[in-house]
Amino acid sequence: MRIFVSGLRKLVGRPASFVSVGLLVGLLGLIIIASATVAQRSESPNAGARALALVTFPGAYDLILSFMLGFGGLVAVIYGAAIAGSEWGWGTLKNAVARGESRTRYVLGTFAAIVVMVAAGLALTFVLGVGIALVGASLAGVSTAGLTDADTLARLPALAARGWFSVVEQAALGFAIATLARSQLAGIGAGIAFYFGEGFASIFLPDIIKYMPFSVARAAVDTGATGGGIGGGGLTQALAPDTALLLVAAWLVGSLVVAVGFTERAEITG
């Protein structure tokens, strides 16, 4: 518990946490405001209607979630890799081990803090995203009556939970990769390469790639409402959401087992 609480304190003060949320919110805001402006100025009714979708509730909820869970996955890979890699690069893991701390507990405690930070980051992004969408709606002169749509609000929590779980799985993947690489930069680089590599490979090997970690993360949230998120790999023949969710859990556990196993056996020389 001490490691978890300490991990949370460390992550709250860490620039990477602010940058990650800032990136998500900034991009989301930019897209929403751009859409609202395009809709306002568009002379084509069809184009205008499409642009308005992002600021028209209740549909805007799904689109905001879709963006968060798609682009958020990439940010999560980078975030997970940055946290795990820095423990090796900065030598802070060495300090903990030399104080007699359990390596397994340290890794799991640190990751548990990431899980909470991901939840907080997604929640903050969602709230700010909705706020920006309301501003966009106001700019575009769209009614916000759908904001309180009961059906949508009722299914949002379950969808958000699935999305959070999927993003956590992607953070775990970055975490494991950086642990194996023992480096922030190498971990981040490899994480990004895997993310886009999987999307690219899905063009040629869709039957295999649909079981891969980023594809199952997208499929797990593709309940028909969000479209599986905005991100690479759209050509993949997606699995059923519930099957995908099981595979997300498998990849998450697998990533953590790899990170813990490697750390337990590693000779810490840095």
Partner 1 sequence: MATRGLRKSYGSRLALDGLDLSVPSGVVYGFLGPNGAGKTTTMRLLTGLLHPDAGSIELLGQPFRRGDRRRLFEVGALVESPSFYPYLSGRQNLRALAAAGASVSAGRIDELLELVGLRERAKDKVSGYSLGMKQRLGIAGALLSDPKLLLLDEPANGLDPAGIVAMRETLRRLAAAGKTVFVSSHLLAEVQVLADVIGIIAAGRLVREGSLEALLTDQGVVRVRVGREQADATRAALDGIAPEIAVAGGGVEVWLTVHVEPSRAAEVNRRLAEAGIYASGLEAGTDLEPLFLELTGGGASAEGTMQGIAR
How many residues interact with partner 1 (rule CB under 8 A)?
Answer: 26
For partner 1, what does the binding mask look like between residues 105 and 144, x meaning CB under 8 A? Answer: -x--------------------------------------
**C-alpha to C-alpha distance for 223 and 230, rounded to whole angstroms:** 14
CB 109, CB 7: distance < 8 Å: yes
**C-alpha to C-alpha distance for 77 and 172, rounded to whole angstroms:** 7
Q: Is 91 left (phi over 0), alpha (psi -120 to 50) or beta?
A: left
185 is an interface residue for partner 1 by CB under 8 A: no
Among 9-17, 52-60, 152-160, 203-211, which window interacts with partner 1 (CB under 8 A)?
9-17
Which residue bears the tokens 């969602």? 126
In terms of CB distance, is 106 or 194 closer to partner 1?
106
Write out the DSSP string of 109-150: HHHHHHHHHHHHHHHHHHHHHHHHHHHHHHHHT---GGGG-H
In terms of CB distance, is 86 or 170 closer to partner 1?
86
Residues 74-103 that bind partner 1 (CB under 8 A): 86, 90-92, 94-102
In terms of CB distance, is 92 or 144 closer to partner 1?
92
Residues 250-269 that bind partner 1 (CB under 8 A): 267-269
In terms of CB distance, is 128 or 268 closer to partner 1?
268
104 is an interface residue for partner 1 by CB under 8 A: no
**Residue 241 in tokens:** 């959401």
Residues 10-39 that bind partner 1 (CB under 8 A): 10, 13-15
Contacts of 15 (CB under 8 A, 6+ apart): none
**Residue 7 in tokens:** 């991990």
In terms of CB distance, is 91 or 131 closer to partner 1?
91
CB 209, CB 201: distance < 8 Å: yes
In terms of CB distance, is 2 or 143 closer to partner 1?
2
CB of 264 to partner 1, least distance (A): 10
Residues 214-233 that bind partner 1 (CB under 8 A): none
Pick from 14, 1, 163: which is nearest to 84 by CA? 14
Give the interface with partner 1 as residue ranges (CB under 8 A): 2-3, 5-6, 9-10, 13-15, 86, 90-92, 94-102, 106, 267-269
